[in-house]
Structures are given as C-alpha cells and as structure tokens.
Amino acid sequence: MNETGKLSQGKYVFLLAMVSCFLWGSATPAIKIGYQMFSIVSTDTASIILFAGMRFFLAGMLVVLFQSLLRRRFLAPQKEALPSIFALSLAQTAVQYLFFYIGLAHTSGVHGTIISGTGGFISILMASLLFHYEKLTPAKLLGCIAGFAGILIMNLSPQDTGSLFDVSFLGEGFVFFSQISYAVSGILIKKFSSRFDVVMLSGWQFTLGGLLMIAAGLIGGGHIAFTDNWQAYLLLLYMALISAVAYSVWGLLLQHNPISRVSIYTFLTPLFGVLLSAVFLGEWEQAASLKTLAALILVCGGIYVVNRKQSQTSSSQKE
C-alpha cells in the first residue's frame, strides 16, 4: 500500500490526528507561558499580535526549509497558487490566531482549551450545511449538539455571581471566533489540496500570515521584551514547530479523507490541553472541577457517537 492509501486507513488517521491534537493542546499553556517570559501583558494587544506573527513566520520558514532539503529543491509556490496561499494565510493564520492569542490573554488555559474543541463541530456543520461536501447525518448532528452543550456547561457561572454564563467577549468569545476561522481554513484546505501541494500551501501561508501579523503588531506599537533567558527562545521555537508539524499533517489528512472523519478527532485537543494546562499552568482546580469533567465527557461523547457511526457505515459499505 502506498503512502496515500495509508493516510486513509483508520489507524493512521487516528495516530496522525493524535499527534496534531497533542501539539495543538500544548499550544495553550505554551502561549500563556510565552506571555510571561517575554513580559507581554493581556492589555497590550499589539504586542500579542507581534508575538503571534513571529511564531508563525518562523513556522513557515521551518516548513519551507525542511521540505526544500527533503526534496533537494527550493519549495517555491506556483504563481497560480498565490491567491490560495493568501486566502489560507488570512483564515488559518492571521484571523484565526489574532482572535486566539487575544482570547487566551483574557481567559484561563483550561477554558481556552475546552472552547477550542468546538472547531471540529463547526467544521462538520460548515462542510455539511454551507459547502455541501457531505451530508449532515443524525449522528453528526447529535455529536455537534453534545459538543456545544459541553461548552455551555463549561462556562456556567457560579451561583453567587448573579449571571448565567461566566464568559468574556475578549476571552472565551474571541477563542470561539478563532474556531470559526479554523473551520473555514479546513474547508479551504480541502478545496485547494486538489490542485496544489498541501505542505507547500502550509509553509507559505504561515510565512505570509506571520508577516501580516508582524506588520499589524508593529504598526499598532507592539514590542517584544527580548530576554537573556534561552528557554524563552526555545519555547518560541517549539511553538513554531507546533504549527509547522501539526498543520502540515492535518492538511495531508484532510486531503485524503472526508472533512468530518478528520475534524472529529479534534476532541483530543481539549483533552491534551486541559491536562497540560493543569500541569504547566497550575490550573488543577479548574481542570478537576465538575463543570470541566462534564464538558469533556459531553465533547468526547459526541465525538465517539459520530466516529462510531462513521466506522459502522464504512464497514457496511465494504461488506
């Protein structure tokens, strides 16, 4: 079986999706620790955007460099691919992470991670209802309802606050907007991958998106407090590798599988993210709360229902 065939096999889809989601889950605590190491405060939006741009520009350069060495030729974008690269650089990098980085600066790592789990459900709804790439089955609809119910439970306010939901527009709201942009980027990858190399698209959209964010941050007066702590730059490199590896792998999976089959595995992101936020940010109280556990059970339960139904459908079709 060739490599393309393997990318459509269930066990390889699961393993590769798990790698991507672990990396994405680790991004939440990494970003918040990065704010501390580079002395970026939550109210300094321009510096937050500049910091994100540095990460993604570096990620793009790493993809281009690695693939150029691997293929023994420069990974240059085709002229006809430039509009696709620009569209992806907006949806997958500039817009998505503009909202995500600002949102994380105004909410906890656990809350940000849980809300990030909605991206897969939004992708399924968009692929089915807006772009008609696949049908919205009862199982998919049930999974989406369970996932959104988990998000609502996660953000219920304590009884003594007098309000129903404990959410911030700049916090949880912006993280949710980032997931809408993420879903759009998945649709675009599925569309553009039929014409262009996914890895090439990933590398150059990160490079362009990073440059756009760096420019926006600098124009807005953003600055980065460079430090003598080498661990800060190692963290920045790791954050770049998160994007370079995770999105390249995810793009390949989307190219060779239905959107819902791949997006459904994003339940792993909140699982990894909540655990890693508890470990590295000390958010054990939030991570171990009944609300968080209930949210994770609903999100993962919804994903299981969808994935189980899809597996049964695939088996019956083979028989």
End-to-end CA distance of the chain: 20
Structural contact between residues 204 and 77, judged by C-beta atoms closer than 8 angstroms? yes
Three-state secondary-structure class, residue 220? coil
Q: What pLDDT shows up at residue 316?
A: 40
Residue 201's pLDDT band, with cuts at 50, 70 and 90, is very high
287-315 pLDDT per residue, tens? 677 777 787 788 778 767 766 655 554 44
Residue 128 has pLDDT above 80, yes or no: yes
Residue 319 pLDDT more than 50?
Answer: no
Instruction: Give me the amino acid identity at 166.
Output: D
Tokens of 170: 């700049």
- Three-state DSSP state, 165: strand
